[in-house]
Amino acid sequence: MADAPQNPDQPAHDAALPTGAAVPAQWENSVPVVSGPPPQVDVSQRRLEEDDFNAPAPTLAGFASGFGMTFSTMFKKVYTQQYPFEIFPTAPRYHGRHVLNRHPDGLEKCVGCELCAWACPADAIYVEGGDNTETERFSPGERYGKVYQINYLRCIFCGLCIEACPTRSLTMSNEFELALDNRQDLIYTKEQLMAPLLPGMEAPPHPMRLGDDEKAYYTPRETKGAPQSDANVAGKPITGRAIEVGGHHA
């Protein structure tokens, strides 16, 4: 077996090694050498007394307080809700089915910014923005949500999309009955998510009715009647009262 060719920049004792694992001579003196005893760490007595290993031993009173809730629940009567024959109202801020809201004149609040899709940790939202024109205007801004889909097979109902929406277009209702036997039906489109037209609203596209300035739409004002998210969206009544989550943005 022929000897491996030697590198002229490598010392002879390094080149003789079959694996070349030795440290080259030019790097040999570049690593600082640490000598002497390690530095002393000043640990106060109070720090030692607060250590977890020096914590006081558990007492009977602490044991009783810890398991008090468990023992008090064991003897309570257990009640099972007979769903779907008995439907109880959900919490006011329950995260249910999404709703795309409208302005009082019927224009869509969604401006197609796609921030909700970026904020979704489950990648359940798909948005395609389109440009508004003078002849076809769907929202007060320059753009609108041309395509909007939410995949409820992926959605975890965390509400991060609601917090990311700058126009409060996307809100969540109290509707929780989303169980279907077809996976394709659980991908909700824009037509299913859009809130219906309430009295006094006009179906877009149409010009801005609240004013030519965009601030007339996004300035907080008092709303009369029920919020848009209370409306019937998909042909079935919403269980409970829906509110617009993220009201602190107003």
Q: Could you tell me the CATH number of the domain that includes residue 159?
A: 3.30.70.3270
Q: Structurally, how many domains does the chain consist of?
A: 1
Domain-embedded: residue 80: no
For residues 122 and 156, the answer to whether their CB atoms sit within 8 Å is yes
Check pLDDT > 60 for residue 164. yes
Tell me the average pLDDT across 102-114: 92
Domain-embedded: residue 187: yes
Domain encompassing residue 130: 102-250
Domain-embedded: residue 97: no
Domain-embedded: residue 164: yes
175 Cβ contact list (under 8 Å, min separation 6): 96, 97, 233, 234, 236, 238, 239, 242
Please tell me the distance from the alpha carbon of residue 95 to that of residue 173, in angstroms, as a whole number.
Answer: 7
- For the whole prediction, is pTM greater than 0.85? no
What is the secondary structure of 125-146 as a DSSP string? EEEEEEE--SSS-SSSSSEEEE
Domain-embedded: residue 28: no
pLDDT of residue 102: 92
Check pLDDT > 80 for residue 192. yes
Domain-embedded: residue 32: no
Look up residue 161 and give its two tokens: 């999309």
Domain-embedded: residue 17: no
Domain-embedded: residue 4: no
